[in-house]
């Protein structure tokens, strides 16, 4: 990829696209470069909660104003030039390889807060880059109950939707009414003439399309832009008390003690017990490969003791899979996602 030429073309397209979308000032005054933050060979260890990961060829974070237009331009240009592209939320569920990511990483972290002028008295449209904890705060500020379960959970709303994150008995889809997303140009059959950078679609949540850690976005090439949550009016004191209790609970469970990406494996009925429990029963608490270790206090948490490589983490996940399969006849599916350029093929069960 010729990164300089990619950026040059992108910058040339930015002004006209923003003007066409109705942005008349601000962003362009500092030059089109002001619309994007970007870096070459950006270490992904600074963008993942595991604190591992080699360089991304080109990391781009469109700034807040005009995000859908700017992100759309990046997606279209990457598509046209055949450059691979990865969409980054908060990196709270990722193991990026030590070799890093070839192509572009599109960071959604600049697209936060509420969607302007949208939502009703008991619904909130929240932008995809908003941290999940902040989304719970935005609801609490309006005395709206229903997002308390996200308090203290690392990750963005976009990532939480993509993963259909689940905690304290609730999945993100339980509170979800509608989603807004950008269909990537090229795959976009029904593009409005003249928009050029892709089509923004809204879709109500349909029965059965979300499941346990499953969302329709996992089978789509789309950039999630926002989520509309259907909430109910509640007592601000009670909402905040619940949020505080959940944050404390995570703290007491040691979730923030070391870098991690939360639960390493999904739970499976076939195993008859939560995966963490099985790891515990097999005497594997504290089991380590290099700097990656099964948390001594939780069998489904893999932690970075400080000097772990992505390779260590992957080797540990593969070894746990292998041992569980050998003992229980079934390997659990990893919940954490392996991203970037890996050397070897992954073992069965985590392909």
The stretch near ligand FAD (CB under 6 A) out of 31-39, 198-206, 255-263, 275-283 is: 255-263
Whose structure tokens read 């390779």?
Answer: 311
| Residue 228 lies near ligand FAD (rule: CB under 6 A) | no
| Interface size with ligand FAD, residues (CB under 6 A) | 32
Q: What H or E segment, with its residue span, contains residue 277?
A: helix 275-281
Least Cα distance to 126 among 147, 107, 151, 105 occurs for: 147
Piece of the chain touching ligand FAD by CB under 6 A; list 116-124, 158-166, 308-316, 323-331: 158-166
The closest alpha carbon to 75, from 154, 144, 162, 17, belongs to: 17
Q: Does 94 bind ligand FAD (CB under 6 A)?
A: yes
Least distance to ligand FAD, CB of residue 197, Å = 16
- Determine how many CB atoms are found less than 10 A away from the CB of residue 8: 11
Among 32, 45, 93, 304, interactor with ligand FAD by CB under 6 A: 93
Instruction: For residue 166, state whether it binds ligand FAD (rule: CB under 6 A).
Output: yes
Residue 140 within binding range of ligand FAD, rule CB under 6 A: no
For residue 94, the SS3 value is strand
Specify the stretch interacting with ligand FAD by CB under 6 A; choose among 95-103, 157-165, 187-195, 303-311: 157-165
Q: Does 165 bind ligand FAD (CB under 6 A)?
A: yes
CB nearer ligand FAD, residue 119 or residue 334: 334
Which residues, 6 or more positions from 168, have their beta carbon under 8 angstroms from its beta carbon? 149, 246
| Rg value, the chain, Cα | 21
User: Residue 22 region, left (φ>0) first, then alpha (ψ -120 to 50), else beta?
Assistant: left
Residue 302 burial class via C-beta count within 10 angstroms: exposed 0-12, middle 13-18, buried 19 and up: buried
Q: Does 153 bind ligand FAD (CB under 6 A)?
A: yes
**Per-residue x/- mask for ligand FAD, residues 278 to 307, rule CB under 6 A?**
------------------------------
**Closest by CA position to 172, among listed 115, 212, 204:** 212
Q: Between residues 28 and 65, which has the closer beta carbon with respect to ligand FAD?
A: 65
Nearest to 225, CA basis, from 197, 255, 201:
201
Closest C-alpha among 120, 131, 116 to residue 68:
116
Q: How far is the CB of 51 from ligand FAD (least distance, A)?
A: 10
* 198 near ligand FAD (CB under 6 A): no
d(CA 281, CA 285): 9
Contact, 38 vs 58, CB < 8 A?
yes
Residue 263 annotated in active site? yes
Q: How are strands ordered across the β-sheet holding 292-294? A: 260-263, 301-304, 292-294, 288-289
Examine the residue annotation and report whether 341 is marked as an active-site residue of this protein: no
The reply to whether 128 sits near ligand FAD by the rule CB under 6 A is yes
Segment near ligand FAD (CB under 6 A), from 31-39, 164-172, 204-212, 234-242? 164-172
Binding of residue 173 to ligand FAD (CB under 6 A): no
Q: Which two tokens stand for residue 167?
A: 């905690």
The answer to whether 183 contacts ligand FAD (rule: CB under 6 A) is no
Binding mask 1-40 for ligand FAD (x = CB under 6 A): ----------------------------------------
Structure tokens at 118: 């949208």
Rule CB under 6 A: which residues touch ligand FAD?
A: 49, 86-94, 108, 128, 153-156, 158-160, 162-163, 165-167, 217, 223-224, 255, 260-262, 337
């Amino acid at each position: 990829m010729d990164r300089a030429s990619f950026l040059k073309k992108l910058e040339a397209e930015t002004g006209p696209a923003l003007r066409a979308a109705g942005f008349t000032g601000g962003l362009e005054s500092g030059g089109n470069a002001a619309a994007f933050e970007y870096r070459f060979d950006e270490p992904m260890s600074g963008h993942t909660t595991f604190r591992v990961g080699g360089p991304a060829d080109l990391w781009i974070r469109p700034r807040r104003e005009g995000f859908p237009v700017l992100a759309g331009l990046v997606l279209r240009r990457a598509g046209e030039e055949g450059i691979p592209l990865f969409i980054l939320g908060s990196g709270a569920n990722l193991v990026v390889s030590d070799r890093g990511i070839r192509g572009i990483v599109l960071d959604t972290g600049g697209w936060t807060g509420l969607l302007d002028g949208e939502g009703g008295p008991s619904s909130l449209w929240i932008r995809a880059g908003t941290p999940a904890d902040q989304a719970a705060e935005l609801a609490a500020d309006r005395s709206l109950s229903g997002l308390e379960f996200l308090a203290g959970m690392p990750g963005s709303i976009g990532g939480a939707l993509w993963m259909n994150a689940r905690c304290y008995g609730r999945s993100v889809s339980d509170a979800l009414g509608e989603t807004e997303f950008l269909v990537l140009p090229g795959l976009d059959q029904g593009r409005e003439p003249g928009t050029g950078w892709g089509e923004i679609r809204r879709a109500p949540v349909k029965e059965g399309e979300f499941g346990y850690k499953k969302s329709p976005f996992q089978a789509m090439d789309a950039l999630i832009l926002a989520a509309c949550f259907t909430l109910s009016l509640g007592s601000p004191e009670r909402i905040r008390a619940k949020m505080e209790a959940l944050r404390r609970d995570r703290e007491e469970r040691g979730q923030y003690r070391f870098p991690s990406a939360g639960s390493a494996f999904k739970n499976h009925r076939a195993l008859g017990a939560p995966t963490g429990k099985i790891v515990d029963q097999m005497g594997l608490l504290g089991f380590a490969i290099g700097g990656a270790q099964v948390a001594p206090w939780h069998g489904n948490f893999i932690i970075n003791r400080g000097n772990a490589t992505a390779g260590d983490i992957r080797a540990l996940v593969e070894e746990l899979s292998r041992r569980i399969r050998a003992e229980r006849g079934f390997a659990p599916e990893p919940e954490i996602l392996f991203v970037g350029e890996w050397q070897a093929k992954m073992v069965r069960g985590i392909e």
